A and B are shown apart, each in its own frame.
Chain A
Amino acid sequence: MHIPDGFINAPVSLGAGILAAGTVAVALKQARGKLDNQVAPMAGLAAVFIFAVQMLNFPIVAGTSGHLLGGALAAILIGRWPGLLALTVVLSLQALIFADGGLSALGLNLVNMGVITVLGGWFIFRGMTKVMPKSHLGVVIASGLAAFMTVPLSALGFVVQYALGGTGIFETASVLTAMVGVHVLIGIGEGIITALTVSAVLATRPDLVYGARELLPKANLTIKNVEVQS
Protein backbone atom coordinates (compact mmCIF):
# COMPACT_ATOMS: atom_id res chain seq x y z
CA MET A 1 0.00 0.00 0.00
CA HIS A 2 3.07 2.29 0.17
CA ILE A 3 2.53 4.86 -2.60
CA PRO A 4 5.69 5.55 -4.63
CA ASP A 5 6.55 8.98 -5.99
CA GLY A 6 4.87 9.77 -9.29
CA PHE A 7 1.38 8.29 -8.80
CA ILE A 8 -0.16 11.43 -7.32
CA ASN A 9 0.63 15.00 -8.37
CA ALA A 10 2.47 17.54 -6.25
CA PRO A 11 -0.48 19.67 -5.05
CA VAL A 12 -2.43 16.69 -3.68
CA SER A 13 0.75 15.19 -2.19
CA LEU A 14 1.47 18.50 -0.50
CA GLY A 15 -2.10 18.78 0.74
CA ALA A 16 -1.88 15.30 2.23
CA GLY A 17 1.45 16.28 3.78
CA ILE A 18 -0.14 19.28 5.48
CA LEU A 19 -3.09 17.17 6.67
CA ALA A 20 -0.72 14.50 8.02
CA ALA A 21 1.56 17.04 9.72
CA GLY A 22 -1.44 18.73 11.33
CA THR A 23 -2.83 15.47 12.64
CA VAL A 24 0.56 14.34 13.95
CA ALA A 25 0.88 17.71 15.71
CA VAL A 26 -2.49 17.06 17.37
CA ALA A 27 -1.24 13.59 18.35
CA LEU A 28 1.91 15.08 19.92
CA LYS A 29 -0.17 17.62 21.82
CA GLN A 30 -2.69 15.01 22.97
CA ALA A 31 -0.03 12.50 23.99
CA ARG A 32 2.27 15.02 25.66
CA GLY A 33 2.31 14.56 29.37
CA LYS A 34 -0.27 11.79 29.30
CA LEU A 35 1.79 8.73 28.51
CA ASP A 36 2.33 6.85 31.73
CA ASN A 37 5.15 4.47 32.58
CA GLN A 38 3.37 1.62 30.87
CA VAL A 39 2.23 3.24 27.64
CA ALA A 40 5.53 5.03 26.95
CA PRO A 41 7.67 1.90 26.41
CA MET A 42 4.72 0.13 24.81
CA ALA A 43 4.53 2.83 22.13
CA GLY A 44 8.14 2.20 21.14
CA LEU A 45 7.52 -1.53 21.25
CA ALA A 46 4.40 -1.19 19.08
CA ALA A 47 6.39 0.74 16.47
CA VAL A 48 9.04 -1.99 16.40
CA PHE A 49 6.46 -4.77 16.18
CA ILE A 50 4.57 -3.07 13.35
CA PHE A 51 7.82 -2.43 11.45
CA ALA A 52 8.83 -6.09 11.80
CA VAL A 53 5.44 -7.54 10.86
CA GLN A 54 5.08 -5.13 7.91
CA MET A 55 8.13 -6.88 6.43
CA LEU A 56 6.15 -10.13 6.35
CA ASN A 57 4.17 -9.94 3.12
CA PHE A 58 1.62 -12.75 2.98
CA PRO A 59 0.19 -14.10 -0.28
CA ILE A 60 -3.51 -13.37 -0.81
CA VAL A 61 -4.35 -14.42 -4.37
CA ALA A 62 -2.15 -15.63 -7.18
CA GLY A 63 0.65 -13.15 -7.72
CA THR A 64 -0.47 -10.63 -5.12
CA SER A 65 0.62 -10.11 -1.53
CA GLY A 66 -0.37 -7.94 1.37
CA HIS A 67 1.09 -6.97 4.70
CA LEU A 68 -0.08 -5.66 8.04
CA LEU A 69 -0.77 -1.93 8.20
CA GLY A 70 -0.98 -2.00 11.98
CA GLY A 71 -2.90 1.21 12.64
CA ALA A 72 -5.85 -0.43 14.37
CA LEU A 73 -3.48 -2.66 16.34
CA ALA A 74 -1.46 0.34 17.53
CA ALA A 75 -4.59 2.25 18.53
CA ILE A 76 -5.99 -0.70 20.50
CA LEU A 77 -2.70 -1.49 22.25
CA ILE A 78 -1.57 2.04 23.18
CA GLY A 79 -4.41 4.45 22.34
CA ARG A 80 -5.05 6.45 19.21
CA TRP A 81 -2.67 9.39 19.68
CA PRO A 82 0.39 7.41 20.77
CA GLY A 83 -0.64 4.90 18.09
CA LEU A 84 -0.48 7.58 15.41
CA LEU A 85 2.97 8.62 16.66
CA ALA A 86 4.14 4.99 16.42
CA LEU A 87 2.86 4.67 12.82
CA THR A 88 4.44 8.02 11.94
CA VAL A 89 7.82 6.72 13.10
CA VAL A 90 7.43 3.48 11.12
CA LEU A 91 6.20 5.07 7.87
CA SER A 92 8.74 7.91 7.97
CA LEU A 93 11.68 5.57 8.52
CA GLN A 94 10.44 3.26 5.77
CA ALA A 95 10.41 6.15 3.32
CA LEU A 96 13.71 7.66 4.49
CA ILE A 97 15.87 4.58 5.00
CA PHE A 98 14.24 1.72 3.10
CA ALA A 99 12.92 3.65 0.07
CA ASP A 100 9.53 2.02 0.80
CA GLY A 101 6.96 4.61 -0.23
CA GLY A 102 8.08 7.78 -1.98
CA LEU A 103 9.46 10.80 -0.15
CA SER A 104 7.04 13.23 -1.80
CA ALA A 105 4.32 10.62 -1.17
CA LEU A 106 5.07 10.42 2.56
CA GLY A 107 2.13 12.67 3.40
CA LEU A 108 -0.20 10.50 1.30
CA ASN A 109 1.07 7.37 3.00
CA LEU A 110 0.83 8.93 6.46
CA VAL A 111 -2.80 9.85 5.78
CA ASN A 112 -3.76 6.43 4.38
CA MET A 113 -1.75 4.09 6.59
CA GLY A 114 -1.45 6.30 9.66
CA VAL A 115 -4.32 8.72 10.19
CA ILE A 116 -7.06 6.64 8.54
CA THR A 117 -6.09 3.26 10.01
CA VAL A 118 -5.26 4.52 13.51
CA LEU A 119 -8.16 6.93 14.02
CA GLY A 120 -10.60 4.89 11.90
CA GLY A 121 -9.54 1.66 13.61
CA TRP A 122 -9.92 3.24 17.03
CA PHE A 123 -13.43 4.55 16.43
CA ILE A 124 -14.62 1.29 14.87
CA PHE A 125 -13.08 -0.66 17.76
CA ARG A 126 -14.71 1.60 20.35
CA GLY A 127 -18.07 1.31 18.61
CA MET A 128 -17.82 -2.46 18.47
CA THR A 129 -16.83 -2.89 22.11
CA LYS A 130 -20.13 -1.23 23.04
CA VAL A 131 -22.06 -4.14 21.53
CA MET A 132 -19.54 -6.91 22.26
CA PRO A 133 -19.40 -8.84 25.53
CA LYS A 134 -16.97 -7.17 27.96
CA SER A 135 -14.61 -10.11 27.93
CA HIS A 136 -11.26 -11.05 26.41
CA LEU A 137 -13.07 -12.71 23.54
CA GLY A 138 -15.22 -9.63 22.95
CA VAL A 139 -12.13 -7.39 22.81
CA VAL A 140 -10.32 -9.80 20.48
CA ILE A 141 -13.25 -10.03 18.05
CA ALA A 142 -13.76 -6.25 18.07
CA SER A 143 -10.01 -5.83 17.40
CA GLY A 144 -10.03 -8.21 14.46
CA LEU A 145 -13.14 -6.73 12.85
CA ALA A 146 -11.96 -3.14 13.32
CA ALA A 147 -8.54 -3.98 11.85
CA PHE A 148 -10.16 -5.77 8.90
CA MET A 149 -12.20 -2.67 8.04
CA THR A 150 -9.24 -0.27 8.20
CA VAL A 151 -7.58 -1.84 5.14
CA PRO A 152 -10.32 -1.11 2.56
CA LEU A 153 -10.77 2.28 4.32
CA SER A 154 -7.09 2.97 3.76
CA ALA A 155 -7.47 1.87 0.12
CA LEU A 156 -10.34 4.36 -0.18
CA GLY A 157 -7.92 7.05 0.95
CA PHE A 158 -5.75 6.24 -2.03
CA VAL A 159 -8.75 6.23 -4.38
CA VAL A 160 -9.71 9.74 -3.21
CA GLN A 161 -6.13 10.93 -3.69
CA TYR A 162 -5.98 9.35 -7.13
CA ALA A 163 -9.30 10.94 -8.12
CA LEU A 164 -8.03 14.34 -6.97
CA GLY A 165 -4.50 14.20 -8.27
CA GLY A 166 -3.65 10.99 -10.08
CA THR A 167 -1.00 11.53 -12.76
CA GLY A 168 -2.66 8.87 -14.92
CA ILE A 169 -5.95 9.33 -16.74
CA PHE A 170 -7.76 6.28 -15.46
CA GLU A 171 -11.36 6.26 -14.32
CA THR A 172 -11.89 6.58 -10.60
CA ALA A 173 -14.56 3.86 -10.71
CA SER A 174 -12.13 1.21 -11.99
CA VAL A 175 -9.45 2.25 -9.47
CA LEU A 176 -12.08 2.12 -6.72
CA THR A 177 -13.32 -1.36 -7.61
CA ALA A 178 -9.83 -2.80 -7.96
CA MET A 179 -8.40 -1.17 -4.83
CA VAL A 180 -11.29 -2.05 -2.53
CA GLY A 181 -11.56 -5.58 -3.93
CA VAL A 182 -7.96 -6.56 -3.31
CA HIS A 183 -7.75 -4.73 0.02
CA VAL A 184 -10.80 -6.48 1.44
CA LEU A 185 -8.77 -9.67 1.00
CA ILE A 186 -5.66 -8.13 2.58
CA GLY A 187 -7.92 -6.88 5.37
CA ILE A 188 -8.68 -10.47 6.35
CA GLY A 189 -4.97 -10.96 7.05
CA GLU A 190 -4.88 -7.65 8.95
CA GLY A 191 -7.83 -8.77 11.07
CA ILE A 192 -6.31 -12.16 11.87
CA ILE A 193 -2.87 -10.76 12.79
CA THR A 194 -4.43 -8.02 14.91
CA ALA A 195 -6.81 -10.40 16.72
CA LEU A 196 -3.99 -12.88 17.43
CA THR A 197 -1.67 -10.15 18.70
CA VAL A 198 -4.29 -8.55 20.97
CA SER A 199 -5.24 -12.02 22.21
CA ALA A 200 -1.61 -12.85 23.04
CA VAL A 201 -1.09 -9.59 24.96
CA LEU A 202 -4.41 -10.04 26.81
CA ALA A 203 -3.29 -13.53 27.84
CA THR A 204 0.05 -12.35 29.22
CA ARG A 205 -0.48 -8.73 30.34
CA PRO A 206 -4.12 -7.63 29.92
CA ASP A 207 -3.29 -4.29 31.55
CA LEU A 208 -1.05 -3.47 28.56
CA VAL A 209 -4.00 -3.43 26.15
CA TYR A 210 -5.00 0.23 26.38
CA GLY A 211 -8.28 -0.28 24.52
CA ALA A 212 -9.39 -2.93 27.03
CA ARG A 213 -8.56 -0.95 30.18
CA GLU A 214 -12.04 0.38 30.78
CA LEU A 215 -13.67 -2.81 29.55
CA LEU A 216 -11.82 -5.26 31.77
CA PRO A 217 -11.14 -3.30 34.97
CA LYS A 218 -11.40 -6.20 37.40
CA ALA A 219 -9.53 -8.63 35.22
CA ASN A 220 -6.52 -6.35 35.44
CA LEU A 221 -6.21 -6.94 39.15
CA THR A 222 -6.96 -10.64 39.35
CA ILE A 223 -5.49 -12.18 36.24
CA LYS A 224 -2.05 -10.70 36.78
CA ASN A 225 -1.67 -12.46 40.11
CA VAL A 226 -3.20 -15.88 39.62
CA GLU A 227 -2.30 -16.24 35.95
CA VAL A 228 -5.73 -17.35 34.87
CA GLN A 229 -5.89 -17.50 31.11
CA SER A 230 -9.20 -17.45 29.35
Chain B
Amino acid sequence: MSLKKFIIIVSLLCAFLAAGVSFYASADPDGLERVAHDIGFIDDAEESATNGSPLAGYSFAGIENERLSVAVAGLTGVAVTGLFGVGLTWWVRKPQDTSDEVDTSRG
Protein backbone atom coordinates (compact mmCIF):
# COMPACT_ATOMS: atom_id res chain seq x y z
CA MET B 1 0.00 0.00 0.00
CA SER B 2 1.39 3.42 -0.90
CA LEU B 3 1.97 5.94 1.87
CA LYS B 4 -0.58 8.28 0.28
CA LYS B 5 -3.24 5.58 0.19
CA PHE B 6 -2.43 4.58 3.78
CA ILE B 7 -2.82 8.18 4.99
CA ILE B 8 -6.13 8.62 3.14
CA ILE B 9 -7.59 5.37 4.49
CA VAL B 10 -6.53 6.06 8.09
CA SER B 11 -7.84 9.64 7.87
CA LEU B 12 -11.22 8.40 6.65
CA LEU B 13 -11.27 5.80 9.44
CA CYS B 14 -10.56 8.53 12.01
CA ALA B 15 -13.32 10.73 10.62
CA PHE B 16 -15.72 7.78 10.80
CA LEU B 17 -14.71 6.98 14.39
CA ALA B 18 -14.90 10.59 15.61
CA ALA B 19 -18.06 11.55 13.72
CA GLY B 20 -20.05 8.34 13.72
CA VAL B 21 -18.88 5.74 16.23
CA SER B 22 -18.30 8.30 19.00
CA PHE B 23 -22.08 8.76 19.29
CA TYR B 24 -22.19 5.27 20.77
CA ALA B 25 -19.32 5.86 23.23
CA SER B 26 -20.04 5.26 26.90
CA ALA B 27 -21.28 8.40 28.66
CA ASP B 28 -20.42 6.99 32.09
CA PRO B 29 -17.86 8.86 34.20
CA ASP B 30 -14.27 7.91 33.41
CA GLY B 31 -11.83 6.38 35.88
CA LEU B 32 -10.74 9.65 37.46
CA GLU B 33 -14.31 11.00 37.70
CA ARG B 34 -15.42 7.74 39.29
CA VAL B 35 -12.63 7.88 41.88
CA ALA B 36 -13.25 11.58 42.57
CA HIS B 37 -16.93 10.83 43.08
CA ASP B 38 -16.37 7.79 45.30
CA ILE B 39 -13.72 9.42 47.48
CA GLY B 40 -15.55 12.71 47.57
CA PHE B 41 -13.54 15.37 45.76
CA ILE B 42 -15.60 15.55 42.55
CA ASP B 43 -17.15 18.83 43.73
CA ASP B 44 -13.72 20.45 43.85
CA ALA B 45 -13.86 20.52 40.04
CA GLU B 46 -14.26 23.98 38.59
CA GLU B 47 -15.76 24.82 35.24
CA SER B 48 -13.10 25.08 32.57
CA ALA B 49 -12.28 28.57 31.30
CA THR B 50 -12.93 27.20 27.81
CA ASN B 51 -16.39 25.91 28.66
CA GLY B 52 -17.84 28.66 26.50
CA SER B 53 -16.25 27.11 23.42
CA PRO B 54 -18.88 26.08 20.86
CA LEU B 55 -17.29 22.61 20.92
CA ALA B 56 -17.13 22.18 24.70
CA GLY B 57 -17.97 18.66 25.79
CA TYR B 58 -17.59 17.24 22.26
CA SER B 59 -20.89 18.56 20.95
CA PHE B 60 -21.47 21.50 18.68
CA ALA B 61 -23.44 24.27 20.38
CA GLY B 62 -26.46 25.30 18.36
CA ILE B 63 -27.14 21.95 16.71
CA GLU B 64 -30.21 20.39 18.31
CA ASN B 65 -29.78 16.94 16.77
CA GLU B 66 -27.41 15.17 19.13
CA ARG B 67 -26.02 12.78 16.56
CA LEU B 68 -25.26 15.61 14.14
CA SER B 69 -23.86 17.79 16.92
CA VAL B 70 -21.37 15.11 18.01
CA ALA B 71 -20.49 14.40 14.37
CA VAL B 72 -19.67 18.05 13.67
CA ALA B 73 -17.59 18.28 16.87
CA GLY B 74 -15.75 15.05 16.03
CA LEU B 75 -15.02 16.08 12.45
CA THR B 76 -13.85 19.51 13.56
CA GLY B 77 -11.56 17.88 16.12
CA VAL B 78 -10.11 15.52 13.53
CA ALA B 79 -9.50 18.39 11.10
CA VAL B 80 -7.95 20.72 13.68
CA THR B 81 -5.80 17.96 15.21
CA GLY B 82 -4.64 16.99 11.74
CA LEU B 83 -3.82 20.58 10.90
CA PHE B 84 -1.78 21.19 14.04
CA GLY B 85 -0.25 17.70 14.07
CA VAL B 86 0.95 17.90 10.48
CA GLY B 87 1.89 21.56 10.87
CA LEU B 88 4.07 20.91 13.90
CA THR B 89 5.83 17.90 12.43
CA TRP B 90 6.25 19.62 9.06
CA TRP B 91 7.90 22.49 10.90
CA VAL B 92 10.41 20.24 12.67
CA ARG B 93 11.12 17.71 9.94
CA LYS B 94 14.35 17.26 8.00
CA PRO B 95 15.54 20.38 6.15
CA GLN B 96 15.97 18.61 2.82
CA ASP B 97 12.38 17.39 2.94
CA THR B 98 11.05 20.92 3.21
CA SER B 99 13.21 22.46 0.49
CA ASP B 100 10.58 22.00 -2.23
CA GLU B 101 7.78 23.48 -0.17
CA VAL B 102 9.89 26.41 0.94
CA ASP B 103 10.75 27.20 -2.69
CA THR B 104 7.19 27.06 -3.96
CA SER B 105 5.89 29.18 -1.10
CA ARG B 106 8.43 31.84 -1.93
CA GLY B 107 7.65 31.78 -5.65
Chain A positions within 8 Å of B, measured between CB atoms, are: 1-7, 28, 31-41, 43-49, 51-53, 55-60, 63-67, 82, 85-86, 89-90, 93, 95-104, 155, 158, 166-168, 170, 174-175, 178-179, 182-183, 185-186, 204-205, 208
Q: Min CB distance, A112 to chain B, in Å?
A: 9
Q: By the criterion CB–CB under 8 Å, are A86 and B85 in contact? A: yes
Q: By the criterion CB–CB under 8 Å, are A102 and B46 in contact? A: yes
How far is B45's CA from A5's CA once the two chains are assembled, in angstroms? Answer: 6
Cβ of B30: which chain A residues have Cβ within 8 Å of it?
1-2, 57, 64-67, 186
| Residue from B1, B13, B14, B32 with most neighbouring chain A CB atoms (10 Å) | B32
Nearest-CB residue, chain B, relative to A51: B81
Other-chain contact of A53, B17, B28, B76, B82 (Cβ < 8 Å) = B17
Q: Min CB distance, B18 to chain A, in Å?
A: 4
How far is B27's CA from A66's CA once the two chains are assembled, in angstroms? Answer: 10
Nearest-CB residue, chain A, relative to B35: A178
How far is B72's CA from A110's CA once the two chains are assembled, in angstroms? Answer: 26
Q: Min CB distance, B98 to chain A, in Å?
A: 9
User: Number of contacting residues on B, CB 8 A?
Assistant: 61
Nearest-CB residue, chain B, relative to A46: B85
> Contacts A7-B36, A85-B92 known; A167 to B78 CB distance under 8 Å?
no
| Residue from B74, B81, B93, B95 with most neighbouring chain A CB atoms (10 Å) | B81
Q: Min CB distance, A21 to chain B, in Å?
A: 15
Q: By the criterion CB–CB under 8 Å, are A56 and B25 in contact? A: yes
How far is B32's CA from A183's CA once the two chains are assembled, in angstroms? Answer: 9
How far is B6's CA from A48's CA once the two chains are assembled, in angstroms? Answer: 14
Q: By the criterion CB–CB under 8 Å, are A51 and B31 in contact? A: no
In the complex, 9 of the A-B residue pairs with CB atoms within 8 angstroms, ordered by the A residue number, are A2-B30, A41-B3, A43-B86, A47-B85, A48-B81, A65-B27, A85-B89, A90-B85, A95-B50
Q: Min CB distance, B99 to chain A, in Å?
A: 12
Q: Min CB distance, B21 to chain A, in Å?
A: 6
Q: By the criterion CB–CB under 8 Å, are B44 and A208 in contact? A: no
How far is B34's CA from A183's CA once the two chains are assembled, in angstroms? Answer: 11
Other-chain contact of B81, A90, A182, A183 (Cβ < 8 Å) = A90
Q: By the criterion CB–CB under 8 Å, are B11 and A48 in contact? A: yes
Q: By the criterion CB–CB under 8 Å, are B41 and A168 in contact? A: yes
> Contacts A52-B78, A55-B74, A57-B27 known; A95 to B32 CB distance under 8 Å?
no
Cβ of A102: which chain B residues have Cβ within 8 Å of it?
46, 48-49
Q: Answer whether residue B88 sits at the interface, using C-beta atoms and an 8 A cutoff.
A: yes
How far is B29's CA from A64's CA once the two chains are assembled, in angstroms? Answer: 5
Q: By the criterion CB–CB under 8 Å, are B25 and A57 in contact? A: yes
How far is B29's CA from A100's CA once the two chains are assembled, in angstroms? Answer: 13
Other-chain contact of B73, A7, A45, A98, A168 (Cβ < 8 Å) = A98
Q: By the criterion CB–CB under 8 Å, are B84 and A47 in contact? A: yes
How far is B82's CA from A55's CA once the two chains are assembled, in angstroms? Answer: 15
Q: Min CB distance, A179 to chain B, in Å?
A: 5
Q: By the criterion CB–CB under 8 Å, are B84 and A93 in contact? A: yes
Q: Min CB distance, A152 to chain B, in Å?
A: 10
How far is B57's CA from A101's CA once the two chains are assembled, in angstroms? Answer: 10
Cβ of A59: which chain B residues have Cβ within 8 Å of it?
26, 28
